[in-house]
């Protein structure tokens, strides 16, 4: 599903405040620290608690293998600047129902919009680089913060049901969300329309509007070539 572009570990995604890149051995300590927290693990489907020794190494090796064979795109969330500290993980997995998205973030970075920033960036990448028609995500019904992240990233609530959370020992009530390609594309168009026009482009637009209104062709500025 994922193209050759993402199957090389030099691939990364840049946002305003983050770099999203392949996980690597240097992330072991940071990921262990985050995943070992009970209140982080309990909201996930796959993170065991207590967190076993060597689990981060195993996870990173598996994530890199899945990235390489195109069945997933699992990325470390790192902050820009300084040592580019690893503060979480985000991943998109190929499933029978298109793409499944999940993430975790260190608690000290909650409430700052960073999770939403990462989710939007990965969703943009999925729709830009694959033919997926929709992205699915879920959150436990008591994880209100995760629900808000998904909603702010453009995901729509679908329903509530029992989903399998293997590391939590069975089925648990979860809110289900999805973002389809049509909705994503419409949001991107609207975002582009709201984005301030660069000064030079704005001047060119104003000049064209003046020409259209008067029927007189404006004289080219010094140094400009007349068409």
* Cα separation, 148 vs 139, whole angstroms: 10
- Half-sphere exposure of residue 65: CA atoms within 13 angstroms, side-chain side: 6
pLDDT of 195: 63
pTM score above 0.75: yes
Helical H runs in the chain? 28-35, 38-41, 55-69, 114-129, 144-152, 181-194, 199-214
pLDDT of 197: 47
126-137 pLDDT, tens digit each? 999 999 999 999
Q: Do 73 and 129 form a contact (C-beta atoms < 8 A)?
A: no
pLDDT of 218: 33
Q: Do 87 and 114 form a contact (C-beta atoms < 8 A)?
A: yes
pLDDT of 192: 84
pLDDT of 196: 59
145-158 pLDDT, tens digit each? 999 999 999 999 99
pLDDT of 4: 94
76-131 pLDDT, tens digit each? 999 998 778 899 999 999 988 789 999 999 999 999 999 999 999 999 999 999 99
Q: Which domains does the chain have, with CATH numbers?
A: 4-212 (3.40.630.30)
pLDDT of 199: 57
CB under 8 Å to 208, separation ≥6 — which residues? none
31-61 pLDDT, tens digit each? 999 999 999 999 999 999 999 999 999 999 9
161-219 pLDDT, tens digit each? 999 999 999 999 999 999 999 999 999 999 887 765 455 445 545 554 555 554 433 33
pLDDT of 177: 98
* Cα separation, 86 vs 77, whole angstroms: 6
């Amino acid at each position: 599903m994922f193209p050759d572009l993402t199957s090389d570990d030099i691939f990364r995604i840049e946002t305003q405040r983050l770099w999203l890149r392949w996980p690597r051995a240097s992330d072991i300590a940071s990921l262990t620290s985050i995943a070992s927290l009970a209140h982080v693990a309990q909201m996930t489907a796959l993170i065991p608690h207590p967190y076993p020794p060597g689990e981060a190494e195993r996870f990173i090796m598996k994530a890199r293998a899945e990235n390489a064979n195109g069945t997933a795109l699992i990325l470390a969330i790192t902050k820009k600047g300084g040592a580019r500290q690893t503060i979480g993980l985000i991943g998109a997995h190929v499933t029978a129902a298109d793409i499944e998205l999940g993430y975790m973030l260190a608690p000290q970075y909650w409430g700052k919009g960073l999770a939403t920033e990462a989710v939007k960036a990965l969703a943009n990448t999925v729709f830009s680089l694959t033919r997926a028609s929709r992205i699915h995500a879920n959150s436990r019904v008591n994880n209100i913060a995760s629900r808000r992240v998904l909603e702010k990233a453009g995901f729509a609530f679908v329903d509530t049901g029992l989903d399998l959370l293997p590391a939590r020992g069975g089925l648990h009530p979860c809110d289900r969300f999805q973002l389809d390609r049509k909705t994503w594309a419409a949001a991107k168009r609207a975002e582009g329309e709201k984005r301030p026009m660069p000064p030079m482009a704005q001047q060119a637009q104003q000049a064209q509007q003046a020409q259209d209104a008067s029927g007189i062709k404006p004289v080219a500025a010094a140094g400009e070539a007349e068409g």
